[in-house]
Amino acid sequence: MQWVKLLGGLVGAAALLGLGIILGHFAIPKGAEPPAPSVSFAQDLDLEILETVMGQLDASRIRENLRELSREPHLASSPRDEALVQLLLQRWRDPQSGLDSAEASAYEVLLSFPSQEQPNRVAIVGPTGDILFSCRQSEENLTGEQGGPDVVPPYAAYAPSGTPQGLLVYANRGAEEDFKELQTQGIDLNNTIALTRYGGVGRGAKAVNAAKFKVAGVLVYTDPADINDGRSLPNETFPHSWHLPPSGVERGSYYEYFGDPLTPYLPANPSSFRLDPDTVSGFPPIPIQPIGFQDAKVLLCNLQGNSAPDAWQGALGCDYKLGPGFHPDSVFTGSQVNVSVYNRLELRNSSNVLGFIRGAVEPDRYVLYGNHRDSWVHGAVDPSSGTAVLLELSRVLGTLLKKGTWRPRRSVVFASWGAEEFGLIGSTEFTEEFFSKLQERTVAYINVDISVFANATLRAQGTPPVQSVVFSAAKQIPSPGPGSLSIYDNWIRYFNRSSPVYGLVPSLGSLGAGSDYAPFIHFLGISSMDIAYTYDRSKTSARIYPTYHTAFDTFGYVDKFVDPGFRSHQAVAQMAGSVLLRLSDSLFLPLNVSDYTETLQSFLQAAQQYFGALLEQHSISLGPLVTAVEKFEEAAAALSQHISVLQKDTLDPLQVRMLNDQLMLLERTFLNPRAFPEERYYSHVLWAPRTGSVATFPGLANAYFRAMKAGAGSAAWAEVHRQLSIVVAALEGAAATLRPVVNL
Amino acid sequence: MQWVKLLGGLVGAAALLGLGIILGHFAIPKGAEPPAPSVSFAQDLDLEILETVMGQLDASRIRENLRELSREPHLASSPRDEALVQLLLQRWRDPQSGLDSAEASAYEVLLSFPSQEQPNRVAIVGPTGDILFSCRQSEENLTGEQGGPDVVPPYAAYAPSGTPQGLLVYANRGAEEDFKELQTQGIDLNNTIALTRYGGVGRGAKAVNAAKFKVAGVLVYTDPADINDGRSLPNETFPHSWHLPPSGVERGSYYEYFGDPLTPYLPANPSSFRLDPDTVSGFPPIPIQPIGFQDAKVLLCNLQGNSAPDAWQGALGCDYKLGPGFHPDSVFTGSQVNVSVYNRLELRNSSNVLGFIRGAVEPDRYVLYGNHRDSWVHGAVDPSSGTAVLLELSRVLGTLLKKGTWRPRRSVVFASWGAEEFGLIGSTEFTEEFFSKLQERTVAYINVDISVFANATLRAQGTPPVQSVVFSAAKQIPSPGPGSLSIYDNWIRYFNRSSPVYGLVPSLGSLGAGSDYAPFIHFLGISSMDIAYTYDRSKTSARIYPTYHTAFDTFGYVDKFVDPGFRSHQAVAQMAGSVLLRLSDSLFLPLNVSDYTETLQSFLQAAQQYFGALLEQHSISLGPLVTAVEKFEEAAAALSQHISVLQKDTLDPLQVRMLNDQLMLLERTFLNPRAFPEERYYSHVLWAPRTGSVATFPGLANAYFRAMKAGAGSAAWAEVHRQLSIVVAALEGAAATLRPVVNL
């Protein structure tokens, strides 16, 4: 304890007073608002507060939140969506349990809706023009909740209007190779209608691929094999079980990018420049419409032609044929399928709601926690299960705040995003509007969208620096199921991997673009995570929970089938709350930058193993990448070591701040807005979209596979080398920011 | 003094000791290296230290530095350039007067040199192939310094090799309109050689423009009217005066962009991906070669054809004709001009040298101060006058440092850049290599390239936030001339403007891309400045000092003509030193962000005045821009007000840091790497290159003038609107970062 030596015997009472004076200057803030507890630069995570928060997060309150949130459909920009904006504001402004402040702000964004006057229609049209069969235009009203004017009929958002008609073919999942297979089988796809099932490729990709083969229109349905573990009968499905009823239809956005389609890279303020909707890229090129498997069965089980390959077969109870057209034995022989889509693009106001807690020590460091608010119909699971958790967590923290018991070291920002279902629009516009501010100051973004898919286990996705804080939280929270396991110990039973550093650990997934974390990680380079409870994959092979994006995703569904008792909701609230508090309150940020080393090494090994030989043939050496990974590893390890020494020793507020800046900003160093200009918003050189199955650096992999294609010349291999240099420069630059700050 | 109330009567001796203990933790750094003075978070600019530094900066030592630096030619990557690397390292590692550390690092960059075996040649070739006249291949050895193997012969760096031959035409400055004028006068430019004079447009642009008109080769010379105020006789020029001798030739880079041509956006490490030199854009498309006015006179005064327009006439003592070809009365009648260029591209190692002083309180905040080291020949003015100042300033600061008298609050980094003359290469590669680290942590970049053009007045360029610190320094340093004016009071006599806020003030110039500040301001968004002493413009109309980039830019030239006594050098050292210390040592950063408001308002007014009417016709409203400027103004004023209150009151180290981060990072908020992707490195939405004469937002202006062109359709006007929205978003984002950090 050096200070003892320095002070001992040297300093008299007068000197002590002088020191006190200086200290008074330093440590006692002027004009702090009551009832904030006294501020200390050394304010660290308070384990008692953490325990208090864990104990106060209440399952029954989450249940009540969910009941209210999912009481009515709340499609983006609908009156009920706006009513929920008011609900959030009211909660976050509550004098007893609210936050420091809350506000709503609207963007004017391009959404897509089916016409109310002219409903979309899918029909079988006989040779004489008679309509022989029509698909349902809405889901069956099984529980009284599936009717009413606010239930938006099933549709494919952003699909163009049009009324194509032609012979039906079955095209499996609508992947490019699926259409190729049909061609190979001698089927003329020109002017056909392709029936596809959900899964495999993205929604919009089905129409994009189909159009390449001159298909005129596309239908998409959810096969019971893919969602219901094969069950398809009414008495096997909701409301008798959690399975999807035959009339259920998955809605969704079919737009290829994210963010408001008319204002890429610009906030969608009323005055912002907008693209001409007719020139926007990323919309489906041809009409597409989703239907239920009850109707799909009528279409598919009456097709003629060759049997579809085994992998294309499903659980509709017939042999799937390829078409084109209906079987001569069927009543539909000679008939065509007509797909009439009357969707409209509309500029609508969509609101984000933001709630703030001012940090006591470092108010300019933000921990963001968000979820979207808009649903397709009632959205009890998606997204209200997340919003119910968000409201409970903000209530517990707000109560401590208002009582004066607690104020975080850093600022906390809660967000309720608008129009996520149309393509992460609210969150993306927010990142565009506050790009600089967020990039400078955000510690991390926590996303809890669907909080509970199922009751089995935690599922967390994130970038490597958040692994440690997620693990820390998971180890200290009891698993909601029977038994006395922690969330961590339960998790490791379901998802695990062998880490070279830690041995067997739960497996943290990586972040795609499935929810509002996407603009934060890919566009802003902010360390992000997504937290939920999910399935036992040994018990179901469902693509996702069965009523996803249908009118059957209701409060009763959650209460009865997804999480009776809401213990998994509570567990997610505890997880998210614990992670949030650790990030907002710990003196040293609990972001373990060293955990990036494992990712880099595995990416490097994959590149060496799968690309090395051919790269060498093209005189491209992976040597500089090896060196860059080593430099990163050394710098990260030294920094972690330095911090662990300091944690036992020094409390110099600026030194802590400087180290935390290194930790916070590491993720930013991986951004290169010039690396993939064709990939809108994707600037993170480690997590941009990747083609091919090799889990490695995406720019390198994508360039490699393009160069591999027959006929690719030296320019394609030059691009491989360029992409390699881009990632090497990013890693070297990242390592440079982790070294002691006085080494330039 | 609130702390008195808080402490008075409450705290006994034991409590004081306790406070002392905590203070010991906070304020006494562990493991600090001796002989660092004791650290205090409140460490502020020490005016005594500042005075000491001002007093110790010694004119005669700057003179001796200059003598040594300019003793031999030190072209980039030459042995003498590398010897100067060692000289810098030795100075910065000196035990008595060095810095904390220093290091050199090399990049492998593409330079261009004339062939030694096959010298470039410009000749008049008679009708029978005889050479009737040859231009000098080197400058006349007037002082014994213009000979020797290390004087690189005059050439146009990056001009392609080739031996075009054709009739000579005179094309004024080689602007596009100059060639159009020749066409208008009925001259067939096909396959001609165009003689042009320096000025008007950039070096490379002369060849680019010429090639558009099928010209085969270009000559460029410096007219005595443009550089010597008309004087051209040997006894009127150096060594008899500071004027350019008849054989003097300006060398230079003819590359259109900056940075290593083969590795745009990537550091030029040996393993980096490199473009194929044959595919690089930005090199002159046709051979071009500079010559002296002595030779130009032979060519130009023998031309036939119409007299050139008045504005094209110069001071060679004859009526300038346009050609094509020579006058029938001249001995060259029927002759052509042959331009033989044998330049070679070579990959060379070029070094930067960096010297560090570790900051005592905020080592992770960097004040950068740099100049290039490489010259074309001896480079006494360019750049050694700046390097001589750099070495003197680093000596004085190093001495204080080694004595333990001083250590800056923030880190100071001195830089000696390589290969600036070829296109700011060393500094650009440095910004590419350390992009993230520099962007996160750099407070400002100070550039002192040519420190003294002439003795009359200070000339400073920079972005608005540096105006106040430059003014503060200038007010406290005596002007070097006779009389007792401050540098500020002298400056305002030469360059001034009427500020709506301050009244008459010296005019701070804006930053183009003329020296190494370019990558810092345009690519990284770091507040930058360039400082020099310069001409009395009422006494000379010279484009630049007359021996610029010639073999006559020698120590004797500076000592006798530019700054006898070196008082202007000393003044620049004091200016740069004062600005540096204010930036490195002030508790609150002396960057006045409010000074951006004036710029924004003047840009806005210009846009309204010149573009408003036509924009309205195209339904583009400047209203959102008005609002954005207002928001910026309000936020900046409130922040400045807040800081001035705090300066009298609080010393909370983190609060100071947070405010300083807002000041430091403001410039970064104006960067948008997606705004002008075609303008390499230019991302600053306020200072990117601008076409047209309206001093306003460059993206808006450039798009406007493109849209104005005949035939531009709605897409061009849409781009105007898009550029308007880009700058509005940047200003709104900037304002958001200036607001109190708890307002999101």
Span B331-380, pLDDT tens digits: 999 999 999 999 999 999 999 999 999 999 999 999 999 999 999 999 99
Q: What is the mean pLDDT of residues A134-143?
A: 97
Catalytic residue among B139, B420, B429, B719: B420
What are the residue boundaries of the structural domains of chain A, listed by start? 47-106+347-585, 115-342, 595-738
Tell me the fold of A47-106+347-585: Aminopeptidase (3.40.630)
* Set A420, A421, A432, A667: catalytic member: A420
Q: What is the pLDDT of residues B501-510, one digit of tens each?
A: 999 999 999 9
pLDDT digits (tens, 9 = 90+) for B31-45: 334 343 446 888 999
In the prediction, which pLDDT does B744 show? 66
In this complex, is the C-beta atom of A83 within 8 Å of any C-beta atom belonging to chain B? no
In Å, what is the CA distance from A196 to each residue of A147, A202, A205, A284, A296? 27, 12, 11, 15, 9
Nearest-CA neighbor of A259 among A452, A463, A446, A524?
Answer: A524
Residue A19: what pLDDT? Answer: 41
pLDDT at B17 over 50: no
A7 phi, psi to nearest 5 deg: -90, -35
Q: What does the pLDDT read at residue B39?
A: 63
Instruction: Provide the pLDDT for residue B32.
Output: 38
Q: Tell me what ipTM this predicted complex has.
A: 0.92
Cβ of A436 and B17 within 8 Å? no
The pLDDT, as a whole number, for residue B502 is 97
Average pLDDT for residues A369-397, to the nearest whole number? 98
Backbone φ and ψ for B428, nearest 5 degrees, come out as -65, -45
CATH placement of domain B595-738: 1.20.930.40
Q: Is B160 left (phi over 0), alpha (psi -120 to 50) or beta?
A: beta
**A32 pLDDT exceeds 70?**
no
Q: Which tens digit of pLDDT belongs to each residue from B422-439?
A: 999 999 999 999 999 999
* Rounded Cα distance, A720 and B286, in Å: 32
For residues A673-680, average pLDDT: 94
Is the pLDDT at B657 greater than 90, yes or no?
yes
pLDDT value for A650: 63
Confidence of residue B25 (pLDDT cuts 50, 70, 90): very low
pLDDT higher than threshold 50 for residue B279:
yes
Which of B364, B661, B732 is the closest to A364 by Cβ? B661
Distance from CA of B256 to the nearest CA of A (A): 20
Whether residues B437 and A737 touch (CB distance < 8 A) is answered with yes
Residue B29 banded pLDDT, cuts 50, 70, 90:
very low
Catalytic: A633? Answer: no
Query: Where does the pLDDT of residue B651 fall: very low under 50, low under 70, confident under 90, or very high at 90 and above?
Result: confident
β-bridge partners, A528? A445
Phi, psi (degrees; rounded to nearest 5) at A303: -70, 155
pLDDT of residue A10: 36
Closest Cα partner for A586 from A468, A428, A702, A489? A468
Distance CA(A153)–CA(A202), nearest Å, equals 21
Q: How confident is the model at residue B717 (pLDDT cuts 50, 70, 90)?
A: very high
Over residues B473-531, the pLDDT tens digits come to 999 999 998 888 999 999 999 999 999 999 999 999 999 999 999 999 999 999 999 99
Q: Which of A61, A289, A62, A63 is nearest to A160 (CA)?
A: A289
Establish whether domains B47-112+346-585 and B595-738 are of one fold.
no
Interface of B with A in 637-656 (CB under 8 A): 649-655
In chain A, the percentage of residues whose pLDDT exceeds 70 is 94
Q: Is residue A710 pLDDT above 90, yes or no?
A: no
For the structural domain made of B115-341, what CATH number should be given? 3.50.30.30
Q: Would you place residue B617 in the very low, low, confident or very high pLDDT band (cuts 50, 70, 90)?
A: very high
pLDDT of residue B410 exceeding 90, the answer is yes
Q: Indicate the pLDDT class of residue B22, thresholds 50, 70 and 90.
A: very low
Rounded average pLDDT over A180-194: 98
Structure tokens at B123: 């000749």
Q: Give me the pLDDT at residue B650, please.
A: 64
Q: How many CA atoms, within 13 angstroms, populate the side-chain half-sphere of residue B718?
A: 10
Mean pLDDT (chain B, rounded): 94
Give the pLDDT confidence of B544-601 residue by residue, as tens digits: 999 999 999 999 999 999 999 999 999 999 999 999 999 999 999 999 999 999 999 9
The tally of CA atoms less than 13 A away on the side-chain side of residue A426 is 28
A744 — contact with chain B (CB < 8 Å)?
A: yes
DSSP state of B519: I
Mean of the per-residue pLDDT values of chain A: 94
Give the closest of A24, A266, A653 to B3, CB-based: A24
Sign of CA dihedral A241, A245, A251, A254: positive
Instruction: Decide if A265 and B358 are in contact by the 8 Å CB cutoff.
Output: no
Helix (H) or strand (E) holding B665: helix B653-665
Residues B230-268 pLDDT 10s: 999 999 999 999 999 999 999 999 999 999 999 999 999
pLDDT tens, position by position, A249-290: 999 999 999 999 999 999 999 999 999 999 999 999 999 999
**Taking 60 as the threshold, does the pLDDT of residue B151 lie above it?**
yes
CATH of domain B47-112+346-585: 3.40.630.10
Whether residue A20 is predicted with pLDDT greater than 60 in this model: the reply is no
Tens of pLDDT, residues A724-740: 999 999 999 999 999 99
pLDDT for residue B16 is more than 60: no
What mean pLDDT is predicted for residues A332-347? 98
Indicate yes or no: CB of B733 within 8 angstroms of CB of A436: yes
pLDDT tier at A744, thresholds 50, 70, 90: low
Q: In chain B, what residues touch A362 (CB-CB under 8 Å)?
A: 654, 658
Question: CA quadruple A632, A633, A638, A640: dihedral positive or negative?
Answer: positive
Q: Is A185 helix (H, G, I), strand (E, B) or coil?
A: coil
Question: How far separated are the first and last CA of chain A, in Å rounded?
Answer: 31
β-pair partners for A102? A355
- CATH architecture entry for A115-342: 3-Layer(bba) Sandwich (3.50)
Distance of residue B572 Cα from the nearest chain A Cα, in angstroms: 27
For residue B271, what is the nearest residue in chain A, using CA coordinates? A624
